[in-house]
Structure 1
Amino acid sequence: MSDNSKTVLLVDDDAGLRDILQATLEMEDYTVIAAQDGEEAKQKFDENAGSIMVVISDIRMPKADGIAVLEHVKNKDNFTPVILMTGIAEIIQTKKAVDLGCDDFIAKPFKPSELLAALDIVLNPANKGAGEDDEMGRDPEFCKVWLEDFVTGSSLQTDLYVRLSPKKYLKVARTGTTLDRPRVEAYKQRGLNYLYIPKEDFAKYVGLNLKVTTAIAKAGGGISKAQKMQLLKHSTEVILEQTNVNGVSQELAEVAHTLVGSTLSMMTEDDDLYSLLDMLNTHSDALYAHSIAVSVYSALIAQKMAWTSLPTKSKLVMAGLFHDIGKKEIPRQLLEKNRVSLTEDEIKTLETHVVRGKNILLQMPKMPSDVVLAVSQHHEYCNGQGYPARLTVHKIHPLAKVLSLANIFSNLVVKGPQHKAPMEPKEAIQEILDYQLEEVDRHALAGLMKAFGVEIPKEFEKYGQGKLGLTGT
């Protein structure tokens, strides 16, 4: 950059950082007017009216903060771009800044190249989104994730963002860094319980290699963005309408719904996975509603069992979504019959849906093996009386144990061919205790009972903290 007419008002109360930033900008031929607080910044902006091309300001400062500077600048000259530098304590103010018309944000700590990229964007709007170092995620295709899922002590495998507005996301944590407990508590104290991950990164984090599609349908009959968004909208409606969470805390219900919604959103980016979802959606309304419900209840159970691995929980949700995919090959009229009225041959045909589903998923190389295994075992029971393999309890995959219980529970509480008048959740749990206790895993059942506020019988209280043998969940 060689245009000396580019004058920057730089505002920060940290003299050391301010000097470094000033030197960086001057090396790029910017003229810098420096201010040490918000009041001085407002005064210098007025004194240099018309010559300041852009304002770069910290948010947290004495006398007057960055929000006050932003408001002053926009009231005086709405066309002067303002970039705010934010730390973890200023996320709520950052949201307010969006409403006031802030042009861009850069999260501390940042590299000089990131500041220069942000400057280039606000001064040259045609370049917006072109730089790799741009801190703002302008693609609205993000997945919402629960903040607590990332407090593991391990290095992050993805960048994390805060959502400022429908199309603005601010990067607050980078790949390779850690999200420690004090930082999480600082977010939560400011009302932030969720962060965001780009869909493609979410898929990689979970262990999928998606073939991300463009907004335009591919030649030869590709799936359009509009079709995918329609399915997502329908899915969201089903989640909210078909899953009975009476008795579950609002926070827990939101965590489960968010996990299912983000996993669904991620999968619609891939044509193959989308096609599987769409098969469920179009084959039978009841089948689709049941599949969504099983995903939500699986997420609830995992959450109350203290599973903390997002990849594990997302795979469980995927298994819930696809556990009955084999039923797409079963005649619809057979699916809609009550089980007590089925003939022996019809029962055998219906039970083939497990193997059919496994074979369908095996045709997809990207499908995680844990998901395939859980789907293939979701009708195996802990007493060894399930199907198709009559596995004993120690041979059933941990995900399948949760999935099996969620499936049984969903059949009782969601309206469908087997239950025209569904039960209330606590009534359904009592039904399982009375008639199916030997079939289900008691660790998982304890998690379900805790989710719905049901007292755990003393004879298996020890299962309340169980993790089904999963390491690192």
Structure 2
Amino acid sequence: MKMLGNCFFLPLRDKRVNRVYFQHEKKHEMNILLSETNDGWACKLRTFIEEHGDTLDIVINGRDAQALIHKNKYDIVILDFNTSNYSALEVLRFIRVHSPHLKVVLTFPSKAFFDDLGLEDSELKRMGATDILLKPIDMRVLKKCLAGDVLFDGWKKAIAAPARHEEETEVFASDNEFTRIKADGALAINRAIFDLYVRIGKDKYLKILHEGDTLAQERLSEYQAKKVTYFYFKTRDRGTYINFINTLLSKIINKSTVSPSTKMNLAQSMVDKFIEEIYTVGIKPALIEEGKQLSENIYQFVQSDRDLNFLLQNYVADEADTKYLHLFLVSFFSTIICKATDWAKRRTVDNVVMGALLHDIGKIKIPQELRLMDPNLMSPVQVEIYKTHPTLGVELLKKIPFITEPVLQIVEQHHETIDGSGFPSGLTSTKIYPLAKIVGLADHFTNLMLRQKLSPKDTLRRFLGDRKNIQRFEADLVLKLAQGFLDQDQFLIKNG
């Protein structure tokens, strides 16, 4: 155990570089590296960062900072200008070349010290500093510098940096540290936004691309020819993937040269990783912003009759491709209903999509075997447990200040039906929140589609033909859903 000032840190020895680093053990939100020469400030910053649930590594010189930046993945580096044994400016240059995605907060001992140097803010920012803070540091200002929205868009710096190419390397790491994406999805990327891997065995990977590498399409195609169907990236980069795909979708969503199935597959993949991030890391402000952009992308998609009609006629769900296909389709069909609803403005659509994505979050609190089980196959005891998930979901989300009241209402009431046969409260007709009615209808429609393995148009035909079941939902919303299947002047569904 090593004491720095009055703060204790666990020493972690890196045998390859034969140096000792001081690493805080707790892991949660952001990964932060602090290079600080002043014991008092190191202790104060450690306390502040720990209270915010972030991971912190501390070093006292530039050489060790570069070694950890090379070895680990950080979101933010807080760099003391007085850093020695590789100066702060040398570390900045290293970051600019090797980790251009990093946010760097450069700190100075005092305003007088900074003024004496004669450096301009603009000059330091050209060198790679994102923010400049003068001691004594105002923790409110530091908090803004550490805002969560800086986590996901680092790929923009990575692809703007000079192109480079590094050799493939073998990596031994736990399978739990990786997330997979379909190989054809990787082919849409021109520059590697993060390190990309091929799995070659249990806990064994081949790093085929380093962050910032150019993607030779022939090289990736060779792996596909070898029956490699998935590529892998570190789970810590999942937020980066979400932001990149969301940005890509916003650029192609209205382009007729891109096939509807390509747009649908990208959106489906993005939702899959979006929900994984929420379920495993938690809901952050940055994720809520991604959800709003996703809502906009889905809304723009359903505005195109060509794209929408193609998918409603030809889409075949493959649940093996995505873990959270149900949530994606509920958000998709909810948006179709909103499209035909005059009072559903853009903010309404945002709340509906977010509510649709989160409507089943309470299921993480019920036994795993019940989460995907058809309620019709459950025992009476299991049904009662299953029926608690809307309430459990609201209890989880109420703890998060930036979750809106409409989203909470959707999560709580998405299983309520106008005839009073729903749960958890048995609400009827006008007592049910209007947006919850939309998501509830989309949820039922999606369940019917997936459980009976039907196309969307066949699902609608089956749904409209079940007069007893259809009476559980508001007639006007059922009509709005059906209108989504209209192709110009021709109704795609011939029913009754």
TM-score strictly above 0.5: no
Question: 1 or 2 for the larger relative contact order (CA 8 Å, sep ≥6)?
Answer: 1
Alignment TM-score, normalising by the size of structure 1: 0.40
Alignment TM-score, normalising by the size of structure 2: 0.38
